[in-house]
Structure 1
Amino acid sequence: MKVRGLKGLKPLYLTTPIFYVNAKPHVGHLYSMLFADIRARWETLNPKKSVFVTTGTDEHGLKIQNVALKQNIPPKELCDIHSMEFKKLASLSGVDYNRFIRTTDEDHISTVKKLWNFLYEKDLIYKDSHNGWYSVNDEAFVPENQIEEVDGRKISKESKHEVVYQSETNYFFKLSKFQDQLIGYIEKNPDFIIPKNKYDEILKELKSQPLKDLSISRPSSRLNWGIEVPNDSEQRIYVWFDALINYLTVCSPVFGQKISFPDTDIWPPTQVIGKDISRFHCVYWPIILMASGISLPEQIVVHSHWLNDGFKMSKSLGNVVDPVDVIGKYSVDVIRYFLMQNSNLSNDSNYSDYQLVSTANNLTNKFGNLVTRIGSPNFSIEDSVNMFNQGQFTDVDDIIGESNASLLQVRDELLDGLDKLPYSMDKHFKDFEFSKAVSEWFKIIELANQFVTIAEPWKLKEEKDLKFKNYVILVASETVRICTILIEPIMPNVSKRILDRLNVNPENRNVFHVKPFEEINYGEGANEKGAEKPFEKLEKA
């Protein structure tokens, strides 16, 4: 896939985490994918902007080796099976990407070895023995201050996975050498990590204790499913060191020099991650880049997790939400809308079928109802647009004022809000505050419904009322047209159907055409009988 919207400018380079393939995808994986996809779609609502999006799968490590052993299949076969499930999820959920990267890809393996050699030659990698608490689930040694005891078991405070004490000989990366440099960078760049609570947490952790050098290999005797350390067949590269470098692989990097993509610079990225992997991305990863002479990411966006009816999802509880099942049961646009309406960077969000159905039906009752109302065969959007272009609505305020002053007040509030909506949504989208963007959008939909309800255009049957009726339909149609363009990043399929029905020129479905009553020309055939409803009401869960 080509860089979307490429115009010779640096694209917005967006990355999701690469997902571990020891199990099927869950709703949290979809959530991360959507954060990147929706932000990218918003960017390209401006046809002068461009994006480059990557997602993919993390395929090395002890967990995969153990699962493959239990299933009696080669690790690569296991990876192939589960990697395809993540690709399927992206396809089903409308997630568009430029590169789906796998850590078993040959160019990635080459990049990892190249970076290893680069750091080794700079004397930033050395071999030593190591003792510490290790989490098999997290594929990581856990610092002593990040361990707690629960029911007689020692676990990681962050992931809640059990840790065991072990000793082995590994290669180490001189993480500690760059601690002060990273602290200084974070302090000078307060938007480097969002949200603010995660920024504060990372900075506090960095300042509270010295960093230890990072173990970046494992003995081949214990781990054979991994990239071999250059010039040392007895060691395999640590899965996290391997995985983090995927963001560089897609850029064809030359270490210590400018990172470029053919014809277009795409580095540095904006990176979306879940809070459980924040230390890897907000501490280890920036230091690896600093040590390599590579500029740090533009921003690291740390989102929280999803609970299921208030409980943390886990296989043992049997409450893991399968996004493929949910998409099959409902519709992809409804799922995307629900997850973004309830998204929260700072706090965990709660999934429930009941809440999803309620959200979907509220969308049907308000947005769907507005589309259905203006699309009635009793009205003509085309005639309304033509009358406006002929200048027939110049005295409409006098007509409305004589009969219903309250309607003027609602109309003015609606049009003022509609005029400001692209700007308020733009700020929220760029801050990854999708729920706030949805809230602003929905307020306008509610105001438009209120305007139509007060005006009651279906009661206006006399010839003398034609101008007023068509004006009401025009205001409502402009609201639908603009709001549909602006919600496209979240609901791309529904948006296309509605804009197709309104017969809006595809070239006019962007941020340069979201000002009310500006060069409008649409509506032909929009009021024909038998048009498909944008949403179907769902039965309560």
Structure 2
Amino acid sequence: MAEPYYITTAIHYPNGKPHLGHAYETIAADVMARFQRLRGREVRFQTGTDEHGLKMAQKARDLGIPPRQLADEMSSFFRELFDKLNISYDRFFRTSEESHHRASQAIWKAMEANGDLYLDRYEGWYSIRDEAYYDESELVAGEGGEKLSPQGTPVEWTVEESWFFRLSRYQQPLLDLYREQPDFVRPESRRNEVVRFVEGGLRDLSVSRTSFDWGVKVPGAEDHVMYVWVDALTNYLSGLGYPEQTEDFAKFWPADVHLIGKDIVRFHAVYWPAFLMSAGIALPKSVFAHGFLLNRGQKESKSVGNVTDPGQLADRYGVDVLRYFLLREFSFGQDGSWSAEAIVNRANSELANSFGNLAQRVMSFIAKNCGGAFAASAPVQDADRALRDKVSLACAVELPQAFDRLAFAAGLEAWMQAVFACNAYVDEQAPWALRKTDPERMERVLATLVGCIRDLAIAISPVTPVAAAKILDALCVPEDGRNFAALSCDPALEAVRVETPSPAFPRLELPAEEAA
């Protein structure tokens, strides 16, 4: 039986159209999902939209439409973007689904049965934009002296009746969790941040609102709706059929990794495990918080006017190029800066000039000079074996080990070094010269290269699925031979057959307005 693997993104808040940060997180999760499928695991990949809360209610009111209408419209933009970006999700989840309301009420009842919910009065600072409560000590001063959240968002003093969750009860259990499972929160910088926060003391958390009604009703107190983060986090369970003991729930929970942005670590690494402990539900195996994408070093912001439409980037540069760039250019987990020049330079130097050109020139040479097929019979030489060992190490060991750590840039660097080794081998062996002096040796060189290109295409296929499939199609690799189990370190590939290829990674030109 295939080993299950469950990966989720944060469900995205659809009070505006999706931006590049949404694309970045979802592409990374998709690469992991595809990678694990190619290793033979049974994957469940969930993404979606978080549609309740005060922000959505206010945006809908401003537009003069019902919140549900706004949620339907905005959620469709996310689904359309993810389909364009070739995101292979198994479930696109919406928190407005009736089944999710039932699941959220079930986890609420479980926490209540454990004695962790009580009714009181909330007085404190609340950020509508963050949908988060902040202690006075966490606030910072704005340029005009106004109080702001740690994220720089406006806060307002809120007073209302509220249900509270006994978060304070879980301070020591959470600290024990972080100590016993040091990989529960990654990367380490985020783990340290979470530990410091919890060590500073936890106050009970307000978990309901009465000032609006767009949300999940609190069981037995329907003038209250649940704090949006209680119901948002529950999506990871309700997408598997919770509270029913479904086959999916039994198979995939606990999740292997919740992939999130660093700005929502507290909700996932403090509140969520506390809720689950209270409800008697197993905890996810890990939470990984990635950094922000910066536009030429500056955080994208609607007020600054530098928000990027990821769909337009995909149209301009190609989906596979965008996917590759976002995971190759900077370390996942840290902030990273992008620009049009960086995308074009990375795509041309590595995808077009290095790997794309390698595949194109080798397959075109075989099509032209060998009739597209031959059976190599010459003995394998040390140079052939050395190249296959280099490629096998990169594709079957170094890239998978790095991807397991979500260290995408490191894995792609190992892959790229193998591509460079193949290009050096072509120049050293010079099959165009061997065609005249030693045709049998030429065939062995070409067979070695075909085996390497096949393995390189399989290894990169989670990142650039369309281009990799194009190369594998031209190499006549069957569908059941395109997984990690098919990677071979054997340099003695005998039968070679190729079809006339077309460029998998065309060269890009910098758009005129960017060049200017």
TM-score, normalisation: structure 2: 0.94
Q: 1:311 aligns with which of 280, 284, 298?
A: 298
- Offset of 1:264 from its aligned partner? 5.3
Instruction: State whether residues 16 and 36 of structure 1, in contact with CA within 8 Å, keep that contact through their aligned partners in structure 2.
Output: yes
Q: How does 1:525-536 map to 2 (within 5 A)?
A: 525-526=498-499, 528=500, 531-536=501-506
**Secondary structure of residue in 2 paired with 1:436:** helix
> Take 1:380 and 1:308, find their aligned partners in 2: how far apart are those partners?
48
| 2:98 equivalent to 1:98 | no
Instruction: State whether residues 10 and 265 of structure 1, in contact with CA within 8 Å, keep that contact through their aligned partners in structure 2.
Output: no
> Take 2:504 and 2:156, find their aligned partners in 1: how far apart are those partners?
54
| 2:11 equivalent to 1:18 | yes
Structure 1 match to 2:508: 538
| 2:92 equivalent to 1:79 | no
The code of the aligned residue for 2:22 comes to: H
Structure 2 match to 1:175: 167
**Secondary structure of residue in 2 paired with 1:169:** strand
Q: Aligned pairs, how many? A: 505
The code of the aligned residue for 1:144 comes to: E
- Offset of 1:113 from its aligned partner? 1.1
Q: 1:294 aligns with which of 278, 281, 284?
A: 281
Structure 2 match to 1:447: 421
| 2:158 equivalent to 1:166 | yes
- Offset of 1:468 from its aligned partner? 2.1
| 2:113 equivalent to 1:139 | no
> Take 2:342 and 2:16, find their aligned partners in 1: how far apart are those partners?
27
| 2:320 equivalent to 1:369 | no
Structure 2 match to 1:62: 54
> Take 1:193 and 1:262, find their aligned partners in 2: how far apart are those partners?
25
- Offset of 1:295 from its aligned partner? 1.1
Instruction: State whether residues 451 and 491 of structure 2, in contact with CA within 8 Å, keep that contact through their aligned partners in structure 1.
Output: no
Instruction: State whether residues 13 and 52 of structure 1, in contact with CA within 8 Å, keep that contact through their aligned partners in structure 2.
Output: yes
> Take 1:118 and 1:185, find their aligned partners in 2: how far apart are those partners?
21
- Offset of 1:516 from its aligned partner? 2.9
| 2:219 equivalent to 1:245 | no
| 2:86 equivalent to 1:113 | no
- Offset of 1:36 from its aligned partner? 1.4
- Offset of 1:294 from its aligned partner? 0.8
Tell me the percent identity: 34
Q: 1:279 aligns with which of 261, 266, 289?
A: 266
More displaced 10-residue stretch of structure 1: 103-112 or 411-420 = 411-420
Structure 1 match to 2:207: 216
> Take 1:131 and 1:340, find their aligned partners in 2: how far apart are those partners?
43
Q: 2:341 aligns with which of 354, 360, 365?
A: 354
- Offset of 1:239 from its aligned partner? 0.7
- Offset of 1:210 from its aligned partner? 1.3
Structure 2 match to 1:265: 251
Instruction: State whether residues 260 and 267 of structure 1, in contact with CA within 8 Å, keep that contact through their aligned partners in structure 2.
Output: no
Q: CA separation of 1:426/1:356 partners in 2, compared to 1, >3 Å: closer, same or farther?
A: same
**Secondary structure of residue in 2 paired with 1:358:** helix
More displaced 10-residue stretch of structure 1: 495-504 or 453-462 = 453-462
Structure 2 match to 1:378: 368
- Offset of 1:129 from its aligned partner? 0.8
**Secondary structure of residue in 1 paired with 2:10:** strand
**Secondary structure of residue in 1 paired with 2:252:** coil
Structure 1 match to 2:225: 236
**Cα RMSD, aligned residues only:** 1.8
Gap regions ≥5 residues in structure 1: 1-6, 398-407
- Offset of 1:69 from its aligned partner? 1.1
Q: How does 1:470-509 map to 2 (within 5 A)?
A: 470-509=443-482
Deviations 1:389-427 (A, max 9, x none): xx4224x45xxxxxxxxxx4xx56533321212111111
Q: How does 1:182-193 map to 2 (within 5 A)?
A: 182-193=174-185
More displaced 10-residue stretch of structure 1: 64-73 or 260-269 = 260-269
- Offset of 1:123 from its aligned partner? 1.9
Instruction: State whether residues 125 and 136 of structure 2, in contact with CA within 8 Å, keep that contact through their aligned partners in structure 1.
Output: yes
- Offset of 1:145 from its aligned partner? 2.9
- Offset of 1:10 from its aligned partner? 4.6
**Secondary structure of residue in 2 paired with 1:364:** helix
**Secondary structure of residue in 1 paired with 2:229:** helix
**Secondary structure of residue in 2 paired with 1:378:** helix
Instruction: State whether residues 393 and 471 of structure 1, in contact with CA within 8 Å, keep that contact through their aligned partners in structure 2.
Output: yes
Instruction: State whether residues 195 and 345 of structure 1, in contact with CA within 8 Å, keep that contact through their aligned partners in structure 2.
Output: no
> Take 2:148 and 2:80, find their aligned partners in 1: how far apart are those partners?
34
Gap regions ≥5 residues in structure 2: 512-516
| 2:10 equivalent to 1:40 | no
Q: 1:414 aligns with which of 380, 387, 397?
A: 387
Deviations 1:470-526 (A, max 9, x none): 222122212111000000100110111100000012111111221133785764243
> Take 2:237 and 2:197, find their aligned partners in 1: how far apart are those partners?
26
> Take 1:525 and 1:450, find their aligned partners in 2: how far apart are those partners?
22
**Secondary structure of residue in 2 paired with 1:316:** coil
- Offset of 1:262 from its aligned partner? 4.6
Instruction: State whether residues 241 and 249 of structure 2, in contact with CA within 8 Å, keep that contact through their aligned partners in structure 1.
Output: no
Instruction: State whether residues 379 and 473 of structure 1, in contact with CA within 8 Å, keep that contact through their aligned partners in structure 2.
Output: no
**Secondary structure of residue in 2 paired with 1:375:** helix
> Take 1:191 and 1:124, find their aligned partners in 2: how far apart are those partners?
27
| 2:397 equivalent to 1:423 | yes
Structure 2 match to 1:405: none
Deviations 1:157-199 (A, max 9, x none): 1x22111222221100111101100100110001111111111
Deviations 1:350-375 (A, max 9, x none): 11111001111111000111011111
Q: CA separation of 1:66/1:519 partners in 2, compared to 1, >3 Å: closer, same or farther?
A: farther
Deviations 1:315-344 (A, max 9, x none): 011111111111111211001000110242
- Offset of 1:72 from its aligned partner? 1.1
Structure 1 match to 2:514: none
**Secondary structure of residue in 2 paired with 1:12:** strand
TM-score, normalisation: structure 1: 0.90
Q: CA separation of 1:300/1:308 partners in 2, compared to 1, >3 Å: closer, same or farther?
A: same
